[in-house]
Structure 1
Amino acid sequence: MAASETTPRPTHAQLLEMLEAPDLTRRERRELQRMARFQKRVETWEHRRANPAPAKLHRAVITLLMMAACLWVLWLLLGGGAPA
């Protein structure tokens, strides 16, 4: 088991609070900033994974309209719209 699994990681907010310390070296500050960016991505990913966005109705409508337009163009190309 990895060390990150046994001890909880600090949250993004906690990492930002740690960055406010005045006695950090440049290397420590860079590392904390990197950790904060990574933790923010992790928290965003976990939130999106836990709360998936519902499928939007407009996507389905646009898809149906595009399919209808493609079928209409195909019908025109095959001579369905030309006078006999």
Structure 2
Amino acid sequence: MLDPDCDKNVFQIWKTGEEKLPFKVVRHSWNPQISAFLVEKIEIKKWPYGTAWGRFIRNGIAGAPQKLDNAGSYQWKVVE
């Protein structure tokens, strides 16, 4: 089930959060109890788009650092 609260891109979330890093996001189609992405670095190219890097978290375990695909799509929300 798609989450209707996932209506921002990762860069808008970063800006709204006073540009503080790191922060966790989930995509509209993810189960936040299982998966999230920890954003650790942001590079703005042309506002409101750029590149985000961090780690996928699955079942509480963080993976290797990587670039987040689709960070510019309006399908994300921040989670605790």
Shorter-normalised TM-score: what interval?
under 0.3
Select the structure that is richer in helix. Answer: 1
* Structure with higher RCO (Cα < 8 A, 6+ apart): 2
Structure 1-normalised TM-score?
Answer: 0.24
